Amino acid sequence: MKKNLLTAVLMTIATTILLGIIYPLLVTGLAQVIFPRQANGELIVVNGKLVGSHLIGQSFSGPEYFHSRPSNAGNGYDPMNSNGSQLGPTNHQLIDRIKSDVAALQAEHPGTPVPIDLVTSSASGLDPDITPAAAEYQLSRVAKQRGLSEERVREIVREHTADRQFGFLGESRVNVLELNLALNQISQKASR
In angstroms, what CA-CA distances link 167 with 54, 128, 170?
20, 20, 9
pLDDT digits (tens, 9 = 90+) for 103-132: 999 988 888 899 999 998 888 888 899 999
So where are the chain's domains? 1-40, 41-191
- The pTM (predicted TM-score) of the whole model is 0.79
User: Of 22, 26, 2, 1, which is closest to residue 13 (Cα–Cα)?
Assistant: 22
pLDDT digits (tens, 9 = 90+) for 132-162: 999 999 999 999 999 999 999 999 999 999 9
- DSSP H or E stretch at residue 121: none
